[in-house]
Amino acid sequence: MKSTTFTKLLMATLVAGSLPFSAHVNAQEAPPVQEKGPAAKDAMLHALDVTYHNPYRAMDTAEVKAVLDRVFAYLDSVTPAELINKNSHAPLGKLDKADPDAVLKPGDFRLTSYEWGVTYAGMLSAGAVTGDQRYTDYTVKRHQLLSDLTRLYLPVVKADQASAQAPIKSFLNPHALDDAGALCMSFLKSQQAGVKVDYSQLVPVCSTFVTEKEYRLKDGTLARGGPDANGKRKMRPLPDTLWLDDMFMGVPTIALMGKQTGNAKYYDDAARQVLQFSRRMFNPKLGIYMHGYVEGMRDHPELHWARANGWALMAMVEVLEVLPKNHKQYKAVEAQFRAHANGLAMYQHKDGLWHQLIDRPDSYLETSATAIYAYAIARGVNRGYLDKEMFGPMANLAWNAVAGKVNAKGEVEGVCVGTGMAFDPAFYYYRPVSTKAAHGYGPVLLAGAEIIAMNRQFKFGLNDSGLMYQGTR
């Protein structure tokens, strides 16, 4: 009897172990509510109405734009592009010379953070897709202010990097990819789109740091933990550490510099970065990346943080946007992008979001990563990197979940705050979420714009109760 019981338990365990990830997740959740009322014919049961947590359909342009408009209205009201006196707080207007007491008027978010580089790019995309000039003007106004401040304060900071006062000093004297890379991406995208802002000083400041000054491993891979100005080893958090985030913080700018200059060395470097990061950090069996890697270490406990995977996916789709199709590594980068997208598809939650630690369903569902995936996957569909039949419904499901996280005020909820790197799960499980986490806003704008473009080009609707591709419009 005991043997029979043991055999049944063993068989149940083996069957459970063979189930896909999604089955394990669903097994932990309650089944749908039992249908009540008069019995329906068996042949009609498949057509019963289903109550989904988020809309199970493709949103039309007006619906998506209504979400984006709420985000825009909030951001426009809480990110002033103005200068004030740091002592009196009086408005200063446009400066004609460097004023050591001038500071940017405080808002909810910083105009020179890497998150706002993503937001500027998102505003440009939303403006281009919707035709609403307000979005484009948001970026133009703030880029113009940054250009004016760079012209006035760059000579001051160069003359005295240690003690010079400047409203945008972290940008003018960058010390990490976070200070330069995403902003530079937004400048280059804007410039290449024909925006009439003088980028002649802005772009060299940030692109030179990304392409020439940031620390690299011996094979040229962007890394953290190199020597500081005094020759001492920096710990970020350990010497020769790769952060998956840096695929995005640096690589799109490198690729865009290829388009800007026509110099193939930038294309070569961008493709090499993608492949070298991936060789070290991508798990081909799981289809996702670890967050941190230390060169020379034998073992790497893999923590698959969702937003970092988003940065990697976004980096690849941005590189593919400008990398010449005849480049020797184009197919390899595209294959890596598809491998990652296919891996992520296995972990999407039933309501459209992804978990903070992608493959750990008891970690919380996180919005910013989902928004980045929605953007990059929809862009992959629009550009033909991904099959529209397979990935279009997945992108729509993700967007609908993200849209549900934008509250009436236009704030994005469920976004993990700024996050370093660790080799234990507790760090990631217990990271707070906040509507003041700047990381969610740019991805939401990018995702909404790309979903509008996708659903304009392709029709998705219900077929046998499932959301399916139904043709090109």
Q: Is residue 416 part of a domain?
A: yes
pLDDT tens sequence across 156-183: 999 998 889 999 999 999 999 999 999 9
Give residues with Cβ within 8 angstroms of 109, minimum separation 6.
75, 78, 79, 115, 116, 119, 436, 438, 441
Q: Is residue 271 part of a domain?
A: no
Name the residue with higher pLDDT: 34 or 92: 92
Give the pLDDT band of residue 227 (cuts 50, 70, 90).
low
**Helix (H) or strand (E) run with residue 460 in it:** strand 458-463
Give the pLDDT band of residue 19 (cuts 50, 70, 90).
very low
| Structure confidence at residue 49 (pLDDT) | 87
| Structure confidence at residue 24 (pLDDT) | 41
CATH of the domain at 371: 1.50.10.10
Whether residue 43 is predicted with pLDDT greater than 80 in this model: the reply is no
The pTM (predicted TM-score) of the whole model is 0.91
DSSP letters of 224-270? B--B-TTSPBP-SSSTTEEETTHHHHHHHHHHHHHHHH--HHHHHHH
Q: Is residue 435 part of a domain?
A: yes
| Structure confidence at residue 161 (pLDDT) | 86
Q: Is residue 79 part of a domain?
A: yes
Mean pLDDT of 209-218: 95
Q: Is residue 251 part of a domain?
A: no
Mean predicted lDDT score pLDDT of the chain? 91
Which of 328, 181, 162, 149 has the alpha carbon at shortest distance from 251? 181
C-alpha 469/C-alpha 462 separation (Å) is 9
Q: Is residue 369 part of a domain?
A: yes
Q: Is residue 375 part of a domain?
A: yes
Q: Is residue 405 part of a domain?
A: yes
pLDDT tens sequence across 25-41: 444 566 666 555 555 56
Q: Considering its fold, how many domains does the chain have in total? A: 1
Domain of residue 391 covers 53-105+347-473
